[in-house]
C-alpha cells in the first residue's frame, strides 16, 4: 500500500469538562472519498479542526504524505493542499464570482498594480466548464443559489494545488439534482487523484459517494463500514450504539378532521405563483420540491413575513388578514424557519428567554412585568416534555447542540399553543437520534389535533410522516399526492418535470 495522504494516529483533544477526542485514528488514501459520520458532538468537527491546524491535539500525531506535520493555521493547511468547504459558505456575497474566486490570489497585469480581469475570466470559465456549472460572472454571488456558490468554492480550491477537500454537510441545502451534479464533480476529482472527506447526515448519500465510511461516537472510533457491503442499519448502529427501528417507519395518520387552513391563489415575488391548498385538522401535509421551488417563500407569505400581491388565507372557513408574523401568531399559526440560528433563535439569550419569546403576554405579573416564576414554569414544562438536554434553564442557547437548539425552537412555538404548525426543514443539520425524536414529536402533535405543514427536502422524512404530499415546482403547486400515491418516484417526477400537467387535487 502506498503511503496515506493523511494519517492521524491516536489523536486526543480535550476541552474544559469534555473529552472531545480520545485516541482517534483516521486516514485517507490519495484519490479516496472517505465518509466521516457520527452524531452531533461525536467529534467530527473537532477532528477536522485538528487536521486543519485550528486546534492543537494533546496527544497523537498527524502524518501528511508520510511526514509528521503540524499545521499552525488554516492558511498553512491550504498551502499544503487542504481545502475546507463549510456548511456555511465563506464568501463575500457582495462581490462577483471572479472577485470571490481570486480573493487573495488575484492575477495582475504584468508589472502593474491593476487586476488582469481577462486572465482571471479565462481561468474561471475553464474551471466552471470543468465543473459543469453555468455561472453568471456579472452578478453578485450573494444572489446565486447555494449550489452555484458551493461550486465556486470548489473552483476556488481547484485554483490551488488541492490534494484533500474536506466537505462539511455540502448537500444540506442542495436539491437532489444539484447533489447529483456535486457527486459527478467529486468523482471527477477522485479520478484526478484528489481525496475527499465527506461529512454528512444524509446516510444514503454517504453510501452512494464514498469508498469507505469512518464512524465516530463520543469522541472515539466506533468502526468503519464498506459502503458496498454494509447496510444502513449497521451504519446507524455504529453511530448511535443501538438499533433505531422507528427511523423512517411510515406513519398512519388517524383521526384527521375537517379543514383548518385553506390557502387560495397566493402569489408574490419572488417565486410564488397562484398557490392553493387546504390543510385538515390533525393532518400532516408534506411540501416537497427542489430548492428554489418557492416553498419557504410561500410559507413566509402565509405568515405575513413577506408581502403577497394576491391570495387569501382562511382559517376554519373564515378569511383572515395576516400582515405580519404577529398576526399569524394571533391566528394560531406557528412557523419554524429553516435556519434556526439566523431566523429562529436569539443565540446570546438563554433557554428561558428564547422559549418565552412569543408568549410574553402569557407570563406577565400585574399585567406589566415579566414574571420569572411563570417563565420558569413554562420553560421547565417544555424542557421536560421535549426532553431538552440542558444543564440549566439559564444556559445560553448558542452553547447547545443542534438537536437541542431545534427542540428549544419547537418548544417556543408549542408554547403559543398553535392550531397550525408550519415546519420548514425541521431536521436539517441535526443528528440521527435527535431527528428520530423530532419525527416522533411531529407525529404525536398531529395525533393531538395540530395541523402541520411539513416543508422538507428529505424525501424519506416527507414519505414517512406526511398524510398527503404537496409538490411545488417553480413557484406553483405541481401536484398534491395522497399517501398511497406518494413515492420517491412520483414526488421526484412532479418536482423535476417541467411541462405543464393537470394538477390533481
Partner 1 sequence: MEITVGDAVPVRATRNRSLVTRIIQSKESAIFLALLIIMGVITYVAPKFMSTSNLFLVSRQVSFVAIVAFGELFVILTGGIDLSVGSLMALAGTAAAYPMSIGMSVTAAVAIGIGVGLLMGAINGWLIAYVKIPPFIVTLGMLSTASGLVLGLTKGWPITNIPVRFLPVAQGEWLKLPIPVWIALALGVVAHVVLTYTAFGRRTYAIGGNEQATFLSGINVKKIKFMLYVISAVAASIVGIILVARFNSAQADTGRGWELDAIAAAVIGGTSLAGGSGSILGVVIGACIMGAIKNGLVLMRVSSYWQTAVIGVIIVLAAGLDRLKAKRS
Nearer to partner 1, 401 or 493 (CB): 401
Cα(36)–Cα(40) distance, integer angstroms? 12
Rounded to 5, what percent of the chain is helix, strand, coil? 35, 25, 40
**Is 126 among the residues that bind partner 1 (CB under 8 A)?**
no
Q: Which stretch binds partner 1 (CB under 8 A): 17-25, 135-143, 269-277, 378-386?
A: 378-386
Cα(283)–Cα(442) distance, integer angstroms? 10
Nearer to partner 1, 391 or 484 (CB): 391
Strands 333-336 and 420-424: parallel
Beta carbons of 262 and 316 less than 8 angstroms apart: no
SS3 28: strand
**Is 9 among the residues that bind partner 1 (CB under 8 A)?**
no
Nearest to 492 by CA among 248, 273, 293, 288: 288
**Is 445 among the residues that bind partner 1 (CB under 8 A)?**
yes
Q: How many helices (H) and strands (E) does the chain have?
A: 16, 22
Q: Which stretch binds partner 1 (CB under 8 A): 179-187, 202-210, 330-338, 427-435?
A: 330-338
Cα(10)–Cα(306) distance, integer angstroms? 52
351, β-bridge pairs: none
Beta carbons of 70 and 44 less than 8 angstroms apart: no
In angstroms, give the least distance from the CB of 446 to partner 1: 11
**Is 332 among the residues that bind partner 1 (CB under 8 A)?**
no
In angstroms, give the least distance from the CB of 322 to partner 1: 11
Nearer to partner 1, 13 or 412 (CB): 412
Q: Which stretch binds partner 1 (CB under 8 A): 147-155, 211-219, 247-255, 362-370?
A: 362-370
Q: Which stretch binds partner 1 (CB under 8 A): 78-86, 170-178, 222-230, 347-355?
A: 347-355
**Is 441 among the residues that bind partner 1 (CB under 8 A)?**
yes
In angstroms, give the least distance from the CB of 394 to partner 1: 6
Distances in whole angstroms, Cα of residue 121 to Cα of each of 97, 108, 128, 140, 144: 9, 12, 10, 15, 18
Q: Where are the alpha helices (DSSP H) in 70-110?
A: 74-80, 97-101
Cβ neighbours of 412 (radius 10 Å): 23
Query: What residues from 141 to 200 belong to the interface with partner 1 (CB under 8 A)?
Result: none
SS3 84: strand
Nearer to partner 1, 184 or 440 (CB): 440
**Is 448 among the residues that bind partner 1 (CB under 8 A)?**
yes
Nearer to partner 1, 162 or 415 (CB): 415
Residues that bind partner 1 (rule: CB under 8 A) add up to a total of 52
Cβ neighbours of 458 (radius 10 Å): 20
Cα(338)–Cα(386) distance, integer angstroms? 20
- The single residue among 36, 216, 329, 486 that binds partner 1, judged by CB under 8 A, is 329
**Is 360 among the residues that bind partner 1 (CB under 8 A)?**
yes
Q: Which stretch binds partner 1 (CB under 8 A): 62-70, 106-114, 196-204, 334-342?
A: 334-342
Cα(60)–Cα(8) distance, integer angstroms? 7
Residue 140 DSSP class: -
Nearest to 272 by CA among 304, 308, 323: 308
**What distance lies between CA 218 and its chain's CA centroid?**
22
**Is 342 among the residues that bind partner 1 (CB under 8 A)?**
yes
**Is 345 among the residues that bind partner 1 (CB under 8 A)?**
yes
Cα(159)–Cα(182) distance, integer angstroms? 17
Query: What residues from 389 to 428 belong to the interface with partner 1 (CB under 8 A)?
Result: 390-394, 412, 414-416
Nearer to partner 1, 165 or 434 (CB): 434
Measured over the CA atoms of residue 347, residue 352, residue 353 and residue 356, the dihedral's sign is: positive
**Is 444 among the residues that bind partner 1 (CB under 8 A)?**
yes
Q: Which stretch binds partner 1 (CB under 8 A): 4-12, 32-40, 368-376, 482-490?
A: 368-376
**Is 376 among the residues that bind partner 1 (CB under 8 A)?**
yes
- The single residue among 346, 482, 497, 505 that binds partner 1, judged by CB under 8 A, is 346
Binding site for partner 1 (CB under 8 A): 303, 305, 324-326, 328-330, 335, 337, 342-349, 353, 357-358, 360-361, 364, 368-370, 376-378, 380-386, 390-394, 412, 414-416, 437, 440-441, 444-445, 448
Amino acid at each position: 500500500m502506498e503511503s496515506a495522504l493523511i494519517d492521524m494516529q491516536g489523536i486526543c483533544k480535550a476541552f474544559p469538562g469534555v473529552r472531545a477526542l480520545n485516541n482517534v485514528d483516521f486516514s485517507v488514501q490519495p484519490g479516496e472519498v472517505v465518509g466521516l459520520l457520527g452524531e452531533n458532538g461525536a467529534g467530527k468537527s473537532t477532528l477536522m479542526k485538528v487536521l486543519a491546524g485550528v486546534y492543537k491535539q494533546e496527544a497523537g500525531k498527524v502524518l501528511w504524505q508520510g511526514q509528521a506535520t503540524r499545521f499552525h493555521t488554516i492558511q498553512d493547511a491550504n498551502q499544503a493542499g487542504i481545502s475546507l468547504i463549510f456548511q456555511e459558505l465563506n464568501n463575500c456575497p457582495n462581490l462577483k464570482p471572479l472577485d470571490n474566486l481570486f480573493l487573495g490570489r488575484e492575477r495582475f497585469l504584468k508589472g502593474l498594480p491593476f487586476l488582469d480581469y481577462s486572465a482571471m475570466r479565462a481561468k474561471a470559465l475553464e474551471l466552471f466548464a470543468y465543473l459543469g456549472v453555468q455561472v453568471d460572472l456579472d452578478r453578485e454571488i450573494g444572489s446565486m443559489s447555494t449550489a452555484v456558490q458551493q461550486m465556486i468554492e470548489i473552483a476556488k480550491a481547484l485554483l490551488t494545488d488541492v490534494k484533500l477537500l474536506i466537505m462539511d454537510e455540502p448537500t444540506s441545502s442542495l436539491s437532489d439534482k444539484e447533489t447529483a451534479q456535486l457527486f459527478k464533480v467529486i468523482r471527477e476529482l477522485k479520478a484526478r487523484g484528489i481525496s475527499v472527506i465527506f461529512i454528512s447526515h444524509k446516510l444514503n448519500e454517504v453510501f452512494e459517494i464514498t469508498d469507505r465510511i469512518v464512524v465516530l461516537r463520543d469522541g472515539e472510533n466506533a468502526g468503519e463500514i464498506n459502503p458496498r457491503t454494509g447496510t444502513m442499519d449497521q451504519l446507524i448502529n455504529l453511530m448511535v450504539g443501538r438499533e433505531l427501528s422507528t427511523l423512517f417507519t411510515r406513519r398512519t395518520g388517524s383521526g384527521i378532521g375537517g379543514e383548518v387552513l385553506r390557502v387560495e391563489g397566493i402569489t408574490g415575488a419572488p417565486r410564488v405563483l397562484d398557490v392553493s391548498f387546504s390543510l385538515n385538522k390533525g393532518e400532516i401535509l408534506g411540501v416537497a420540491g427542489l430548492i428554489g421551488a418557492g416553498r419557504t417563500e410561500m410559507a413566509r407569505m402565509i405568515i405575513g413575513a413577506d408581502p403577497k400581491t394576491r391570495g387569501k388565507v382562511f382559517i376554519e372557513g373564515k378569511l383572515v388578514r395576516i400582515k405580519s408574523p404577529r398576526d399569524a401568531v394571533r391566528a394560531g399559526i406557528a412557523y419554524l424557519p429553516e435556519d434556526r440560528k439566523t431566523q429562529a433563535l436569539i443565540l446570546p439569550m438563554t433557554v428561558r428567554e428564547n422559549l418565552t419569546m412569543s408568549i410574553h403576554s402569557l407570563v406577565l405579573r400585574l399585567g406589566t412585568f415579566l414574571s420569572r416564576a411563570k417563565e420558569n414554569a413554562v420553560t421547565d414544562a417544555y424542557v421536560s416534555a421535549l426532553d431538552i438536554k440542558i444543564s440549566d434553564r439559564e444556559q445560553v442557547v448558542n452553547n447547545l447542540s443542534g438537536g437541542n437548539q431545534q427542540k428549544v425552537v419547537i418548544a417556543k412555538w408549542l408554547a403559543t399553543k398553535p392550531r397550525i404548525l408550519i415546519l420548514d426543514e425541521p431536521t436539517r443539520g441535526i443528528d440521527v437520534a435527535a431527528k428520530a425524536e423530532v419525527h416522533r414529536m411531529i407525529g404525536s402533535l398531529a395525533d393531538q389535533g395540530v395541523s402541520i405543514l411539513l416543508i422538507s427536502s428529505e424525501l424519506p422524512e416527507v414519505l414517512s410522516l406526511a398524510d398527503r404530499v404537496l409538490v411545488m415546482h417553480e413557484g406553483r403547486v405541481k401536484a398534491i399526492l395522497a399517501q398511497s400515491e406518494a413515492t420517491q418516484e412520483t414526488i421526484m417526477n412532479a418536482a423535476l418535470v417541467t411541462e405543464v400537467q393537470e394538477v390533481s387535487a
